[in-house]
Amino acid sequence: MNHARNILMLLIGAAALTSCQFERSGATGWNYNDSRNGGFEKAPFEEQETGPGLVLIEGGQFTMGRVTDELTYDWNNIPRTVTVSSFYMDEVEVTNFYWLEYLYWLERVFSADYPEIYKKALPDTLVWRNKLAYNEPYVEYYLRHPAYRDYPVVGVNWLQANDYCAWRTDRVNEVILIREGLFEHYPNQINEDHFTTDAYLAGQYESGKKIDGMQDFNPNRDTRNVRMEDGILLPRYRLPTEAEWEYAAYGLVGNSIDERIVERRIYPWNGHWVRYDSRKKGGAFYGDFRGNFMRGRGDYMGVAGSLNDNADVTAPVFSYWPNDYGLYNMAGNVSEWVMDVYRPLSPEDKNDFRPFRGNVFKTKTLNSDGAVQEKFDQVIYDVDGIKYFLTEFQTRMQGRATDEEAKLIDDLLTAIEQSIEFNNSRKHDAAMQRVQDMVDMIKASSIPSDIQPKLLSGISDYQMDQPGDVRWRNVTVEENIDRRNYRQSDNINFVDGDLESSIYFDQADYEGNAMYDWGKTSLINDHARVYKGASWADRIYWANPATRRYLDERQSTAMIGFRCAMTRVGSPLGMGDAKRRSQLKK
């Protein structure tokens, strides 16, 4: 809907009306949208607009967790009743072509001054390689050849998937503002001068405006930017939570009468079989597989002349029948990243309303005047991560590096130590400048060696923010002194991994990892992320939506992709709620 146009018409009409014709506050009796009363506005609003590619998932309660035998004996998935609010989810996985659109935009905006931003977004096409298989054609062609443009993107790690969701949010909201007549197409965006939703809402993006803004009822101002109160801009695209993904995959909305679930599903369809079982529903597909997965050892696609899933690796994203929510490939094709940090006991620990583990509470950084601090004008790096990378790189090069190479690595380690010191003393700009100096140092090196691109590639992987992003920081204990629901920012370890939840709970001075000693006794840490569902290379067991696995957020495989979600605000039923209310009135 053209919300801005509706608001503008409301403003014009309001100017011609007398005060008795204004809508009045039920609390104070003062007129809305009346500049004589100070101009407090009430924008016309019906329902949240459905973003591109999304379908509404009506929420509700369901039994989350194991519904079949625990074949892996991980005991990390106890059944539990939880409630998921309504939300939106992509009907298909993010495709190669969608990702190429993303890469093109990054290259156009950042390549001149910040080529490392484009480099970080590149999927790892080498995930297709196998020491005892010939998969080089996929390495070379899968991402970019038009034959695969509608296939799900793979080789994308959890961090890259989140970056894509943030980028997609900004592009969708930008085109909405263009549609509303507030912005014009502005292809000359470069570096920090590009549209982001946060920067626009903070009043830090002016380029590309077609008009100054919407008419403001405030008698002290003529125009203003769109605000969240107008209901024009969409919420953020993001990864779904584990509970949301599992709930959406089951599609129980089509398998219930009133509040009675007719049959508890093992897969996103009824029954324990995996082929189309009805000529009425399946038609010509009777007897074919319902998804893209591995039937048995060595059988990825079936017999020539009657391929059981019509795919050797992945399949086009609109393949097979969707589930009852209209979601494609929720069982098979690729496994999918979700937001959650992995813990074996999360099903026991998480809240039963909108369950999720992974909260790190943040807030916008403010300046001394209380306004949002100026957005970044440089690349922001994870300096501790860069130190880890350089230390590991030095270890791998031990005994093979020349004297010049060893000296370069030592100089980089010295520089990153200085950067960490700056960062710890809150000299963040100086810390980031030191990292940029390291990048320049590598580029300027005249060593006859091939380690320069390896170093540059490794450092680029530890970007956190890019020019144009609004500054966010973790909340502090000091600003939450009287708060009851939380105090600290990082709650990933809460009741599972923190000192209080370990056997050392009575030793306040205990040093080291109290429970998950990563790399020694466990592969679980705060960077282990959950992925759900079966892939083209998995047996049918993993097609049960309740199954859960995990992988480090910086790693990727040829079997994992993702799809985006969006929060539903307001009524859980959308326009269907209005329809039901109108029937009740009749």
Residues 213-225 have pLDDT tens digits of 888 899 988 899 9
Give the model's pLDDT for residue 16. 45
Domain 51-111+118-155+234-275+321-360+532-586: which topology? paralog of FGE (formylglycine-generating enzyme) (3.90.1580)
Q: What would the pLDDT profile of 463-516 be if each residue is shown by its tens digit? A: 999 999 999 999 999 999 999 999 999 999 999 988 888 888 888 888 777 888
Q: What would the pLDDT profile of 20-77 be if each residue is shown by its tens digit? A: 588 999 999 899 998 888 889 998 888 899 999 999 999 999 999 988 888 888 889 9
Residue 317 pLDDT greater than 90, yes or no: yes
Residues contacting residue 61 through CB under 8 Å, at least 6 positions apart: 81, 82, 83, 84
Residue 583 pLDDT greater than 80, yes or no: no
Give the model's pLDDT for residue 537. 95
CA pair distance 240, 339, nearest whole angstrom: 6
> Hey, how many other C-beta atoms are within 10 angstroms of the C-beta on 218?
14
pLDDT band of 578, cuts 50, 70, 90 = low
Q: Is beta strand 87-90 parallel, antiparallel or unpaired with respect to 565-567?
A: antiparallel
In the predicted model, what is the mean pLDDT of the chain?
A: 90
**Helical packing angle, 451-460 and 428-444, nearest 10°:** 160
Question: Which has the minimum average pLDDT: 15-24, 439-448, 519-528, 531-540?
Answer: 15-24
Give the model's pLDDT for residue 302. 85
pLDDT band of 334, cuts 50, 70, 90 = very high
pLDDT band of 281, cuts 50, 70, 90 = low
Per this entry, what is the length of the chain?
586
Task: Evaluate whether 452 touches 444 at the Cβ level (below 8 Å).
Answer: no
Question: Which has the minimum average pLDDT: 167-181, 262-276, 364-378?
Answer: 262-276
Average pLDDT over residues 540-560: 95
Give the model's pLDDT for residue 15. 46
CA pair distance 96, 98, nearest whole angstrom: 5
Name which of 50, 129, 44 is nearest 87 in CA terms.
50
Average pLDDT over residues 186-213: 93
pLDDT band of 389, cuts 50, 70, 90 = very high
Name which of 260, 270, 282 is nearest 331 in CA terms.
270
Burial class (CB in 10 A: 0-12, 13-18, 19+), 100: middle
CA pair distance 7, 2, nearest whole angstrom: 9
Name which of 67, 104, 133 is nearest 265 in CA terms.
67
Burial class (CB in 10 A: 0-12, 13-18, 19+), 386: buried
Average pLDDT over residues 260-274: 86
Q: What share of the chain is helix, strand, coil (3-state, %, to 5)?
A: 35, 15, 55
Residues contacting residue 333 through CB under 8 Å, at least 6 positions apart: 93, 152, 291, 292, 311, 314, 315, 317, 319, 535, 536, 561
Which residue spans within 65-190 are E strands per DSSP?
80-84, 87-90
* 576 conformational bin, left if phi > 0, alpha if psi -120 to 50, beta if neither: alpha
